């Protein structure tokens, strides 16, 4: 490969890493054409792809990027598996290639700048799909959201009582619909044992 071609490939790889949400490194050897075609097809279905390049060029492409930690996983004939969308979907798809065995043996990955071990990638593959996780998160946020708007317009002294009311609602099934009334500061509660008033003093006759 000529120098110009190597430079162009490094730039292309750098751009791919810049768009990727996760990158995996695996050994890549002995696959048949049919196996390779099927694997690439399934990766494309989850917005992923596999790139094969020399280790020296990959090292140049990842230098100074969030994927620089992949350097220690390089060596020999390797394949780069990149996702441009959902990391969980890619992890699920890759682990489904298990029957390929040593033909596509996973070495490690980087997600969000953090290196992942093989075990962590396998754990990632067990998570619910992105859409399910987002739906669950939205469900958790949706109910408190309307209450938060009201809280922002209430006095700070009322915040503790509302939080307590929300806790009561979650635990007992109901909560006060309106803030509890406070006794006005101008009123003094009656007392039963107040001392009698002293008689008024008399002036000179």
Q: Taking all residues of the chain, what is their mean pLDDT, rounded to a whole number?
A: 74
**Which pLDDT tens digit goes with each residue over 29-55?**
888 888 888 889 999 999 999 988 899
Other CB atoms within a 10 A radius of the CB of residue 54 amount to 14
**Which pLDDT tens digit goes with each residue over 104-125?**
888 999 988 888 888 888 888 8
The confidence band for 187, taking pLDDT boundaries of 50, 70 and 90, is very low
Q: 3-state DSSP call for residue 109?
A: strand
Q: Answer yes or no: is pLDDT of 150 > 70.
A: no
Q: How many CA atoms lie within 13 A of 42 on its CB side?
A: 15
Q: Where are the domains of the chain?
A: 3-127, 131-172
Is residue 35 within 8 Å of 100, Cβ to Cβ? yes
More confident residue, 164 or 184: 164
Q: What is the pTM of this model?
A: 0.59
* Topology given in CATH for the domain delimited by 3-127: Alpha-Beta Plaits (3.30.70)
Q: Answer yes or no: is pLDDT of 24 > 90.
A: yes
- Put the strands of the sheet holding 78-83 in their side by side order: 48-51, 78-83, 22-27, 106-111, 114-116
Give which of 58, 122, 50, 117 is closest to 84, Cα–Cα. Answer: 50
């Amino acid at each position: 490969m000529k120098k110009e071609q190597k430079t162009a490939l490094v730039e292309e790889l750098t751009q791919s890493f810049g768009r990727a949400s996760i990158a995996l490194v695996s050994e890549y050897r002995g696959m048949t054409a049919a196996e390779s075609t099927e694997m690439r097809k399934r990766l494309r279905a989850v917005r992923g792809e596999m790139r094969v390049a020399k280790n020296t060029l990959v090292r140049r492409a990842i230098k100074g990027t969030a994927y620089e930690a992949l350097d220690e996983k390089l060596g020999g004939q390797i394949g780069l598996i990149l996702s441009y969308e959902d990391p969980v979907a890619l992890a699920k798809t890759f682990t489904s290639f298990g029957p390929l065995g040593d033909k596509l043996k996973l070495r490690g990955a980087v997600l969000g700048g953090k290196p992942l071990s093989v075990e962590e990638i396998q754990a990632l593959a067990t998570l619910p799909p992105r859409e399910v996780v987002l739906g669950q998160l939205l469900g958790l946020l949706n109910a408190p959201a309307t209450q938060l708007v009201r809280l922002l317009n209430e006095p700070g002294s009322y915040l503790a009582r509302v939080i307590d009311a929300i806790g009561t609602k979650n635990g007992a099934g109901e909560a006060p619909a309106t803030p509890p009334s406070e006794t006005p500061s101008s009123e003094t509660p009656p007392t039963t044992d107040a001392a009698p008033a002293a008689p008024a003093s008399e002036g000179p006759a």
